[in-house]
Amino acid sequence: MALSEKMLMSGEHNILTTRTHVKALFLPFVVLLVVAFAGSFGAAQAGDAGDGYVRWAIIAVALVVLVWFSVVPFLRWYLWTYTLTNRRVVEQRGILTRHGRVIPLSRINDVSYEKNLNDRILRSGTLIVHNAADEEGMTLDDIPSVEKFHRLISDLVFEVQNQNDD
């Protein structure tokens, strides 16, 4: 889900769009499996007790739990993107209400990344982008192939700074 054409400035193009590593969906997936099994088992065991109201109550509770603990986290993961263009870094997130943060490449002072053991095994990491403002830097958590993203941003920042120096 790269930035749409209406969000791009003139002469700007998307270079890379990514989202948090899929490992963020491990727990929602486990919840999906457990609730689907438990709900199915409970509904089958309830049979027609209470004119079937018990079965429908179990199914309703299972659906609410699935939506709250599996579907919503999936949507949150899917709709939270980090986009690198030739002019800026854009973070977009939110399901119903969209939030975003933009750092122009010309304002970036420092780009660093962190990788713990799990990140090294899963080939992901956290990217930290500091800008020239007094604000806290932008932290991009659990980015897949963080070194590639780091290298692309660094190259673009150097390119933009060299253009400004000329």
Q: What CATH code is carried by the domain that includes residue 13?
A: 2.30.29.30
Is the pLDDT reported for residue 1 higher than 70? no
**What's the CA gap between 114 and 14, in Å, rounded?**
25
Average pLDDT on 120-141 reads 85
- In this structure, the dihedral spanned by the alpha carbons of residues 51, 56, 57 and 63, taken in order and rounded to 10 degrees, is 180
- How high is the pLDDT of residue 7? 77
Banded model confidence at residue 8, pLDDT cuts 50, 70, 90 = confident
Average pLDDT on 11-30 reads 91
Q: Are residues 54 and 88 in the same domain?
A: no
Q: Are residues 101 and 160 in the same domain?
A: yes
Structural tokens at position 81: 């993107």
Q: Are residues 119 and 136 in the same domain?
A: yes
- How high is the pLDDT of residue 163? 78
Q: Are residues 148 and 112 in the same domain?
A: yes
Q: Are residues 93 and 146 in the same domain?
A: yes
Q: Are residues 95 and 143 in the same domain?
A: yes
- How high is the pLDDT of residue 39? 93
Q: Are residues 46 and 89 in the same domain?
A: no
Ramachandran category for residue 10: left, alpha or beta (phi over 0 → left; psi -120 to 50 → alpha): beta
Residue 136 to residues 17, 98, 148, 157, Cα–Cα distance (Å):
22, 20, 23, 19
Is the pLDDT reported for residue 134 higher than 70? no
Closest to 21 measured CA to CA, from 151, 157, 149, 156: 149
**What's the CA gap between 157 and 166, in Å, rounded?**
14
Of 28-32, 54-58, 106-110, 135-139, minimum mean pLDDT range: 135-139
Q: Are residues 14 and 40 in the same domain?
A: no
Q: Are residues 126 and 140 in the same domain?
A: yes
Closest to 87 measured CA to CA, from 17, 19, 160: 160
Q: Give the tens place of pLDDT for each residue, 103-115.
A: 888 888 888 899 9
Domain housing 60 = 25-76
- How high is the pLDDT of residue 161? 80
Is the pLDDT reported for residue 14 higher than 90? no
Q: Give the tens place of pLDDT for each residue, 38-80.
A: 999 998 888 776 677 888 999 999 999 999 999 999 999 999 9
Banded model confidence at residue 36, pLDDT cuts 50, 70, 90 = very high
Q: Are residues 59 and 39 in the same domain?
A: yes
Q: Are residues 37 and 65 in the same domain?
A: yes
Count of structural domains within the chain: 2
Q: Are residues 11 and 90 in the same domain?
A: yes
What global pTM score does this model have? 0.82
- How high is the pLDDT of residue 143? 92
Cβ–Cβ under 8 Å, residues 143 and 149: yes
